[in-house]
Amino acid sequence: MSDIRTPEAIPVRRDDPDDVVARLEEDIIFGRLAPGARLTEDALMSRYGTSRHFVRQALLDAERRGIIRREKNVGATVRFYSAEEVHQIYEVREMLTRQAALMIPLPAPQGLIDELSALQRQYCARADAQDLRGIHEANDAFHLALFSACGNPYLVRSLQDYMNLTLPMRAKNLADREGLAQSRRQHELMIELLKGRDSWALAQLCVDHMQFSKKDYLKRIADDGAGL
């Protein structure tokens, strides 16, 4: 299991714990802190240039979100999912995604097309600016708007829960040039399919859309395991 050493200092305002929370979350979900990495308070204080109090708040928030794990006699570590867990989690997420996509009435109303097109423009603008947090937020906004069109808020809430659960697995994909380019193309194709009547093609594309990040995470944990 790796530890964080000689961290790069990132200045933050000492009076704003949300900055520490956001930076810790970004470092985890974008792969700067690898799955299984130990998170000591002293190292994080040095990394973010902040106080122990704010670091503890950040760790508590990250634990609530499920992106770190705390264990007795081990301390805090970046949440590590086994290959079996990844497959099981994605099985559920894929079923929810497919069902939500199949329930979207086609052709979709012009209002939905316009909303998704605007969100896609925001997504592309953040990508061009290499704004990782902006890319992540615009991507999630796009998918929530898309799946909300299924008309079942309970299904959308379940999907959102699994989107959050897979955040450490999928967000790094948004920092990958190949993965980001593929994501942009698939978003555009989703919008085009919404204008037609092929619900099965839309549902399959939505399921295919999440495979790049799934494969990438499985490769990362396999590579990390090989290096132990």
pLDDT, residue 6, reads 33
- pTM strictly above 0.85: no
Q: Distance between CA 79 and CA 185 in Å, rounded? A: 30
Going along the chain from its start, the domains and CATH numbers come out as 17-78 (1.10.10.10), 83-226 (1.20.120.530)
Give strand pairing partners of 38: 3, 77
How do residues 117-160 score in pLDDT, each as one tens digit? 999 999 999 999 988 888 888 999 999 999 999 999 999 999 99
Q: Is 139 buried (19+), middle (13-18) or exposed (0-12) by CB count in 10 A?
A: buried
Considering all CA atoms of the chain, what is the largest pairwise distance in Å, rounded to the nearest integer?
A: 56
CB 101 within 8 A of CB 202: yes
Most confident of 37-46, 78-87, 109-118, 167-176: 109-118
pLDDT digits (tens, 9 = 90+) for 21-57: 888 888 887 778 888 889 999 999 999 888 898 899 8
User: Which sign does the torsion angle of CA 81, 133, 157, 110 carry?
Assistant: negative
Q: State pLDDT tens for residues 66-78.
A: 788 888 878 899 8
- Whether the pLDDT of residue 17 is over 70: the answer is no
CA distance 36 to 20: 20
Q: For 11-151, where are the alpha helices, taking DSSP H only?
A: 17-29, 41-48, 52-65, 83-102, 110-128, 132-148
State the CB neighbour count (10 A cutoff) for residue 57.
17
Q: Is residue 9 over pLDDT 60?
A: no
pLDDT score recorded for residue 8: 40
Give the chain's radius of gyration (CA, Å): 19
Asked if the model's pLDDT at residue 89 lies above 90, the reply is yes
Q: What pLDDT shows up at residue 14?
A: 43
pLDDT of residue 171: 66
